[in-house]
Amino acid sequence: MTSPTAPAPTGAALLRDARRNRGSAFTIEERRAYGIEGLLPPGTATLEVQVARVHAQLAALSDDLQKYLVLSDLQARNEVLFYAVLMADPATYMPLVYTPTVGEAAQKFDHIFRATRGVYLPITAKGRLRELLANWPERDIRFIVATDGERILGLGDLGVGGMAIPVGKLALYTACAGVPPQMTLPITLDVGTNNQQLLDDPFYLGLRQNRVRGAEYDAFIEEFVQAVQALFPKCCLQWEDFAINNAAPILRRYRDAICTYNDDIQGTAAVALAGILAALRITGQKLTDQRVLFLGGGSAGTGIAELISEAMALDGLPIAQGRARNWLFDVNGLLVESRTDLSEFQRPFAHAHAPVTTFVDAVEAVRPTAIIGVSAVPKLFSRPVIEAMARINARPIIFPYSNPTSRSECTAEEAYTWSEGRAVFASGSPFPPVEVGGRRFIPGQGNNVYIFPAMGMAVLATQARRVTQPMFITAARAVAEQVTEAHLAAGLIYPPTSNILAASLHVAERIAEYVFAHDLAGIARPDDIAAHVRALAYKPVYTTEV
Q: Is 169 a catalytic residue?
A: yes
In a shared domain, residues 185 and 57: no
In a shared domain, residues 313 and 434: yes
In a shared domain, residues 486 and 419: no
Residue 4 within any structural domain of the chain:
no
Q: Is 98 a catalytic residue?
A: yes
In a shared domain, residues 240 and 293: no
The active-site residue out of 169, 514, 538, 542 is 169
Query: How many domains, in total, are found in the chain?
Result: 4
The CATH number assigned to the domain holding 488 equals 3.40.50.10380
In a shared domain, residues 320 and 376: yes
The CATH number assigned to the domain holding 59 equals 1.20.1370.30
The active-site residue out of 34, 98, 204, 450 is 98
**Range of 466's domain?**
450-536
Query: What's the one-letter identity of residue 453?
Result: P
Residue 394 within any structural domain of the chain:
yes
* Boundary-marking domain end, from 421, 447, 473: 447
In a shared domain, residues 164 and 193: yes
Neighbours of 126 (CB within 10 A): 15
State phi, psi for 327 to the nearest 5 degrees. Answer: -120, 145
Mapped onto helix, strand or coil, the DSSP state of residue 286 is coil
In a shared domain, residues 125 and 48: no
Tens-of-pLDDT digits for all 546 residues of the chain?
444 456 789 999 999 999 999 999 999 999 999 999 999 999 999 999 999 999 999 999 999 999 999 999 999 999 999 999 999 999 999 999 998 899 999 999 999 999 899 999 999 999 999 999 999 999 999 999 999 999 998 899 999 999 999 999 999 999 999 999 999 999 999 999 999 999 999 999 999 999 999 999 999 999 999 999 999 999 999 999 999 899 999 999 999 999 999 999 999 999 999 999 999 999 999 999 999 999 999 989 999 999 999 999 999 999 999 999 999 999 999 999 999 999 989 999 999 999 999 999 999 999 999 999 999 899 999 999 999 999 999 999 999 999 888 899 999 999 999 999 999 999 988 899 999 989 999 998 898 999 999 999 999 999 999 999 999 999 999 999 999 999 998 888 999 889 999 999 999 999 999 999 999 999 999 999 999 999 999 999 998 777
Longest CA–CA span in the chain (Å) reads 79
In a shared domain, residues 128 and 74: no
Number of residues written out for the chain: 546
In a shared domain, residues 435 and 312: yes
Task: Give dist(CA 57, CA 371) in Å, integer.
Answer: 41
In a shared domain, residues 79 and 32: yes
* Boundary-marking domain end, from 227, 258, 289: 258
Task: Give dist(CA 69, CA 167) in Å, integer.
Answer: 13
